[in-house]
A and B are shown apart, each in its own frame.
Chain A
Amino acid sequence: DTGVSQNPRHKITKRGQNVTFRCDPISEHNRLYWYRQTLGQGPEFLTYFQNEAQLEKSRLLSDRFSAERPKGSFSTLEIQRTEQGDSAMYLCASRLAGRSTDTQYFGPGTRLTVL
């Protein structure tokens, strides 16, 4: 399978705990995006990377959220001191920037439930 993969697919945690999600993009895709999606809404942009550089962060990304892409391949999204409002689907997407095919391909998402 050469698509975008995300782990875990589901995460249940208690309020106040830290969680970390992983995204493996399509091989050779240099851009990687994180989105959050709540029920009945479209995806909300959180942040994106070009290779290992984090180029943009949304104001939605509070100080409790941090994302990394240390080697320009996989990325992690960590949420510290989770709150019930963090419950959502976290989606990762990748694309190959610089080509005419400007299409983001999405992973299956990680569904987070904060109790």
Chain B
Amino acid sequence: AQKVTQAQTEISVVEKEDVTLDCVYETRDTTYYLFWYKQPPSGELVFLIRRNSFDEQNEISGRYSWNFQKSTSSFNFTITASQVVDSAVYFCALSEVSSNYQLIWGAGTKLIIKP
């Protein structure tokens, strides 16, 4: 069974629209970490955020916000007022104590922002 599911393969929106990328995870650990990375066309994986399992407080960073809900095992990512430069593939990842903190990756969501 997939441990990290990003059900949206590709999303296309027009610039300035808000967009939410979904991430659902599965783990039996009580201590774990969740991550979002951005991969622009250049290929480099850029770290966006890390959240530990004991901190359900939502976070906002500029136009980016993250909604962590343990009750639904979700860690969704919202971009407000999207821009063309946000176009990239976004990966959600999980690391668990039981897996020695190896990153378990979702399949990624390709986000296309049209001008």
Least CB distance, B114 to chain A, in whole angstroms: 21
> Is the pair B91, A42 in contact by a Cβ cutoff of 8 Å?
yes
Contact residues of A: prevailing secondary structure: loop
Counting CB contacts under 8 A, is A101 at the interface?
Answer: yes
- For B33, what are the chain A residues with a Cβ–Cβ distance below 8 Å? 102
Contact of B102 among A45, A89, A100, A101 (CB under 8 A): A45
**Which B residue sits closest to A41, measured CB to CB?**
B107
> Is the pair B106, A42 in contact by a Cβ cutoff of 8 Å?
yes
> Is the pair A106, B45 in contact by a Cβ cutoff of 8 Å?
yes
Q: A42-B91, A105-B47 are in contact. List 13 more A-B contacts (CB 8 A).
A: A42-B106, A42-B108, A43-B91, A43-B103, A45-B103, A48-B102, A102-B95, A103-B50, A104-B103, A106-B45, A108-B42, A108-B43, A109-B44
4 smallest beta-carbon distances between A and B, as pairs: A42-B105, A106-B45, A108-B44, A109-B43
